[in-house]
A and B are shown apart, each in its own frame.
Chain A
Amino acid sequence: MSNNNYILRVTVDENLCVGAGLCVLSSSDVFDQRDEDGVVKLLQEYPDQASYEKVLGAARKCPSKAIKVEQVNGDAP
Chain B
Amino acid sequence: MSVVPEHVVIVGGGQAGHQAASSLRDEGYVGRITLVGEEPQLPYQRPPLSKAWLAGGLNDGDVHLETEDWFAVNHIDHWRGERVVGLDRAARRLTTGGGETLGYDHLILATGARNRPLPLALEGIAGVLSLRSLADATALQTQLAGARQVVIVGAGFLGLEVATVIRASGIDVQVVEATGRVMSRALGEQMGLALYARHQLQGICFHFNRRVVGITHAQGRASAVQLDDGQQLAADLVLVAIGVQANAELAVQADLATDNGVVVDAFLQTADASVSAIGDCACFTHGFDEGARWRLESVQNAVDQGRYIAGRLMGREEPYRQVPIFWSEQAGCRLQMAGVAAGDDLEVPCGDAHSEGFSVLRYRDARLVGVESLNRPADHMAARKLLLRGLSPALEEARQPGFDLRTWLASAAALQA
Contacts and interface: CB of A to CB of B under 8 A. Distances in A.
B65 A61 contact: yes
Interface string A37-76: 1110000000000000000010111011100000000000
Interface stretch (B131-139, B204-212, B346-354, B377-385): B377-385
A61 B327 contact: no
B384 A36 contact: no
Contacts of B336: 18-19
Given A18-B327, A63-B47, A65-B58, A39 B377 contact: yes
Nearest to B66: A57
B380 A65 contact: no
A6 to B, nearest CB: 18
A15 interface: yes
A30 to B, nearest CB: 17
B198 interface: no
B178 interface: no
A37 B65 contact: no
Contact of B327 (A37, A64, A65): A64
B384 A38 contact: yes
Grouping DSSP codes into helix (H, G, I), strand (E, B) and loop, the A interface class, with mixed when no group exceeds half, is loop
Given A60-B62, A64-B47, A65-B48, A19 B299 contact: no
Given A18-B327, A18-B336, A64-B47, A37 B377 contact: yes
A61 B47 CA distance: 10
A48 B395 CA distance: 49
Contacts of A20: 299-300, 303, 325, 327
A73 to B, nearest CB: 22
Nearest to B26: A25
A64 B330 CA distance: 12
A15 B334 contact: yes
A19 B58 CA distance: 21
Contacts of A37: 377-378, 380-381
A22 interface: yes
Given A20-B300, A37-B377, A65-B52, A60 B327 contact: no
Interface of A: 15-20, 22, 25, 35-39, 57, 59-61, 63-65
Given A19-B377, A20-B325, 4 more contacts: A17-B377, A20-B327, A22-B299, A60-B62
15 contacts: A18-B327, A18-B377, A19-B336, A36-B406, A37-B377, A37-B378, A37-B381, A38-B377, A38-B380, A60-B61, A61-B45, A63-B48, A63-B327, A64-B51, A65-B51
